[in-house]
Structure 1
Amino acid sequence: MSGSVEVRQFLLRYESGGQGGGCGLPVQRAGQDTPRISDDQVRRARLAVAHGARGAEDCARLLDMLGLTPDDGGRSPVQH
């Protein structure tokens, strides 16, 4: 699924301000001082996934794999 690679690259560029880190892999967030993922970041990530998906089923699967599907409380797992 090349769409998921493109989404990860998009999110890496977006979160790092376009700098890209070392080997191109996102780093794990550590500590409570790290900023949380905003609603706007989640919205943009969902749009990127939808743009790169091959169809509705592919989009739903990618959103779920990336933790962008809202739970019962309306928050995405990436925001916990």
Structure 2
Amino acid sequence: MSGSVEVRQFLLRYDGADAGSGGVPSQRSGQTEAPRVSDDQVRRARLAVAAGALDADDCALLLDMLGLIPDEDGELPAQR
């Protein structure tokens, strides 16, 4: 799979971002303090999911589970 190297690089880039927390993200305390997910982060996440998906149905399911498919209002749950 040609995308597997890209996916590994994507995951490694963010793996050490919170080295002090042992790799477990901290709970968000409030919307005003939570950083927003950028459009570029969404695009890269979609590419990573697509590269690792088994087929189109698997990709759609994973994107939906991660909040990367727009809801009825056209907003991404991951960017709320």
Q: Same fold (TM over 0.5)?
A: yes
Find the counterpart in structure 1 of residue 18 from structure 2: 20
Unmatched tracts of structure 2, length 5 or more: 1-6
Structure 2 letter corresponding to 1:76: L
d(CA) in 1 for partners of 2:44, 2:67: 13
Structure 2 letter corresponding to 1:73: D
Q: SS where residue 60 of structure 1 aligns?
A: helix
d(CA) in 2 for partners of 1:12, 1:70: 26
Structure 1 letter corresponding to 2:29: A
d(CA) in 2 for partners of 1:58, 1:66: 12
- Give, in angstroms, the shift of residue 25 of structure 1: 1.9
- Give, in angstroms, the shift of residue 11 of structure 1: 9.0
Provide the TM-score with structure 2 as the length reference: 0.69
State the aligned residue count.
71
Find the counterpart in structure 2 of residue 29 from structure 1: 28
Structure 2 letter corresponding to 1:66: L
Structure 2 letter corresponding to 1:49: V
* Mapping for residues 69-80 of structure 1, pairs under 5 Å: 69-80=69-80
Native 8 Å contact 1:68 1:77 kept in 2: yes
Q: 1:11 to 1:34 in 2, by over 3 A?
A: farther
The alignment status of 1:56 with 2:56, answered yes or no, reads: yes
Unmatched tracts of structure 1, length 5 or more: 1-5
Seq. identity, % = 56
